[in-house]
Every structure is written in structure tokens, then in C-alpha cells.
Amino acid sequence: MAASLPLGLSWPGDNQLKLTPNLSATFHAYVHIPFCAVRCGYCDFNTYTSKELRGVSQAEFHIPLIQEVNLSKQLLSQWAIPARELTTVFFGGGTPSMFEASQISQILESLEDNFGFTDGIEITLEANPEGLDHLKLEELKAAGVNRISLGVQSFDQKVLDVLDRVHSKDKVIAAVKQARELGLRVSVDLIYGAPGETLESWRRTLEQAIELGVEHVSAYSLIIEEGTAIARKIARGELAEVDEDLNADKYLLTEELLGKAGLKNYEVSNWGNPSLHNQAYWQSQDWWGYGPGAHGHISGARFWNQKHPATYTAALEKGSPAAGFEYLDERTQLEERLLLMLRTSQGVPRSLFRELGVPTELVANAIASGLLELASNDQIKATLSGRLLVDGLVLDFLSKSQA
Ligand SMILES: C[S@@+](CC[C@H](N)C(=O)[O-])C[C@H]1O[C@@H](n2cnc3c(N)ncnc32)[C@H](O)[C@@H]1O
Ligand code: SF4
């Protein structure tokens, strides 16, 4: 949940959107929990420490979230979108593990009462290692959570210090073991490319994650966001700049080690047993984004909420927490499909390039230079070296398209 909201149309006072239902889309919920104990120096997500909350109570914040769940049910019916059960729920943050399990449980009850859950629903909660112990994990499981996405970042204490993370390697090891013993699915988030991190340090982080037997790894290269503490330290010369070549080596090492351990890459930054929730985003399914700054996507319309928990709550009291929306035209939807799906191992149908007016020779050149490949089912996919450059490649295709 990035810090800035897009520009778009102001949310209509009567809450009315004009939509043509996408009858084949599955339905998903994202719930944003906008609280953190401290802000990590590299992070510009929409999250707040206790001093920044302008009187909002974290202990009672499940109440407006449940109010929005009830509102969403009413609005979907008002927009004539047929009711569907939820296929996934994702509690993201911020730090969802700072919520009491009873708060999570009440939100899940409300989602289930309003929409129902499909058999085998995936319910993920993002957690910081320092916020988990055996009891908390047990309570979260009893509440219905079946997948934990743990913000590990690194197993190297020096890297954790550079990133301002407050947990230790031992805490992560204990949390993963406890979660697995309880039968929870476990994913870990890792970051590579922190100033001072060597290839060897990253290798040890990957090896440790593999040794813990997690079923899924997300590995992101550190993005230096403008205005963050880490960006200022780099600008002052206190920390080294990101080394893009070293980062490319780290990516290739990630693919090698995770691949050997049986965790198959299925999206540029993701390996292992796929997250159904993330796949729903990439496939442009329908989802509602609950909570401050959260984005929803229903039948080709995108909408987003007020950012600060206080403005979110105040707007909700007046009838809707939404700040703005946009109808995605057909061209924008096709462009998004190319941007998101070319990052996946599935790739995109060859016909998509034609529909977007991407000159054939550009695609042929990318295949000839080993960045893309044509699979047997007429899908075009990024190769391993192509994955490192795929976002830039797509932007280049779109800037030269002739539609
Ligand atoms: C926003 S956090 C929320 C979950 C939890 N608080 C945590 O830190 O893991 C989700 C993921 O985004 C990653 N992230 C945040 N800022 C990032 C950045 N500038 N570059 C790369 N990854 C980032 C985090 O490290 C984390 O793994
Ligand atoms: S704990 Fe997670 S969400 Fe909070 S500041 Fe750190 S990275 Fe961002």
C-alpha cells in the first residue's frame, strides 16, 4: 500500500458507480492495518506510529473496518454486482500482527457473514516476527488465519540494523517453527540490496530461509523511496548507494538456490506455493480494499480510500471512506494485463501484443536477444535474464505501440 494516492475522479456523494459486472471474476478482500511500532527507515507505506494517529484508537480500529465491510455489501448490491463468496482475505500493513487476534476474528466473522467463504479460502496475515509467539499464533489460527507472511528481510544482523528492523534472527526461527507446528502456511518476505549487504550475506539469508522449510518466499530488491530516512543517509554519504550489478547477481543467486530447493519462481519476485491473493491482483479479479488508503477493483473500476486513519474514519461516518475512483478503459486494462502478467511464469498470449499495437519486430528483437521466449501454447514469457528487465521492457513496448 504505497504512500500516495492516484489522481482520479472525486468519489460521488450518492456512492453510485456505473459498472458492468464481470461475471467470471473471483472475489477477494484486502484489509489494511495502518499501524507500526516504529517506522523502518526504508519504508514509505501508508502506516502510522502511535504519535501520528491524531486520536485514532488502534484497539478499536476493527470497528470502522467492520463498518466498511457492511457498507461494501450494501454498495455491491446497489451497483448490481452479483454476490460471490470470498476466495482470499489478506491482512496487510502496516503491522497486522499488532492487532489482537480477537480484532482479526471479528473482522473475519463480518466478512463471512456478509459474503461467505469458499471452501479452501486462503486467509493471510502479514506479521512482524517480534509480534508473534506461540499463543498469538494459536489465537490467529483459531480466528481463521491459515497463512502467515512474515517480514523477515534478512538473517544478517548488520543488514537488519541498516534496515532499522527490531527483530533478531532467533526470533524469526522460533516464529517460523511455531507457525509450521500449528499447521499454518508460512511465507517469508526478504529484501536484497541493502547498503553494505554482500553476496555472501544474501546467500546465507536464502540458505537460512530454505532450511526453515517455508513454502513461499517473496524477495524484493530494496527500493530507495524519496523522503525516507535511508534515502537521506545515502544522500549524506553515510550509507552506500545501491549497486545494481550486485543486485542482479543476488537475483540470479535467489533463482538458483530457491529453484534447487524446489521453490519454483512464478512471478518475478515470488517463489514457491503461489499466493492465491496476489494472483488475483495480477489477473485483475475483483477485490475490495478495506481500511485507510486501501484500493479496490470491481468490474473495471478502481477506487481508493482516504489515507489517514482519522480522515478515513471521519469520511466513513459521513457515508463512505472512499476518496476517489476511475473507470479503466479497455486500453488501460490491456496495458495493465501486459505489465502484470508478463512478470508471471504464465506470461501473456501472443495476441495481446497485437491488440495493443506493439510492433512485431520489437517483440521479435526481445526474443532474439533472449529476454522473452515463445512457449508452446502461444504464450510469450520473460526468460530469466528478461525478468531482471521486464518492467522497462514493457514500458518501452507501450511507448512505441501504434494503437
Ligand atoms: C509494507 S510491509 C508490511 C508487513 C510488515 N510490516 C513487514 O515489514 O514485513 C510488506 C513488505 O514490504 C516491504 N517493503 C517496504 N518498503 C520497501 C522498500 N522500500 N523496498 C523493498 N521492499 C519494501 C517490507 O520489507 C515488507 O516485507
Ligand atoms: S514494519 Fe513493515 S510496514 Fe512498518 S515501517 Fe517497517 S516495513 Fe513498513
Do 326 and 369 touch, CB atoms closer than 8 A? no
| DSSP 8-state symbol, 50 | G
Mean pLDDT for the chain overall? 96
* Residue-range domain boundaries for the chain: 14-282, 330-403
Asked if residue 2 has pLDDT above 90, the reply is: no
Q: What is the whole-number distance in angstroms between the Cα of residue 388 and the centre of ligand 2?
A: 25
Residues contacting ligand 1 via CB (< 6 Å): 42-43, 45, 93, 95, 126, 128, 151, 153, 189, 191, 220, 222-223, 225
366 to each of 127, 203, 268, 296, 398, how far by Cα in Å?
Answer: 39, 30, 17, 34, 14
pTM of the prediction?
A: 0.97
Q: What is the whole-number distance in angstroms between the Cα of residue 96 and the centre of ligand 2?
A: 10
35 to each of 52, 68, 95, 304, how far by Cα in Å?
Answer: 10, 18, 6, 18
Report the CATH architecture of 330-403.
Answer: Orthogonal Bundle (1.10)
Residues contacting ligand 2 via CB (< 6 Å): 36, 39-40, 43, 45, 47, 93-95, 128, 151
Helix (H, G, I), strand (E, B) or coil at 156: coil
Q: Give the closest ligand to the alpha carbon of residue 91.
A: 1
Q: Give the atom of ligand 2 at the shortest distance from the alpha carbon of 39.
A: 5
Asked if residue 3 has pLDDT above 60, the reply is: no
Q: What is the whole-number distance in angstroms between the Cα of residue 368 and the centre of ligand 2?
A: 41
| DSSP 8-state symbol, 99 | S
Q: What is the whole-number distance in angstroms between the Cα of residue 168 and the centre of ligand 2?
A: 15
Where does the pLDDT of residue 184 fall: very low under 50, low under 70, confident under 90, or very high at 90 and above? Answer: very high
The predicted structure's pLDDT at residue 7? 72
pLDDT tens, residue by residue, 235-286: 999 999 999 999 999 999 999 999 999 999 999 999 999 999 999 999 999 9
Asked if residue 366 has pLDDT above 70, the reply is: yes
Query: Considering Cα of 385, then 391, then 392, then 393, what sign does the dihedral take?
Result: positive
What average pLDDT does the segment 199-209 reach? Answer: 98
The predicted structure's pLDDT at residue 153? 97
What average pLDDT does the segment 95-104 reach? Answer: 98
Count of beta carbons in the 10 Å neighbourhood of residue 319: 12
Q: What is the whole-number distance in angstroms between the Cα of residue 93 and the centre of ligand 2?
A: 7
What CA–CA distance (Å, rounded) separates 184 from 164? 27
CATH code linked to domain 14-282: 3.20.20.70
Q: What percent of the chain has pLDDT over 90?
A: 96
pLDDT tens, residue by residue, 105-136: 999 999 999 999 999 999 999 999 999 999 99
Where does the pLDDT of residue 351 fall: very low under 50, low under 70, confident under 90, or very high at 90 and above? Answer: very high
Cell 549524506 sits at which residue?
A: 236
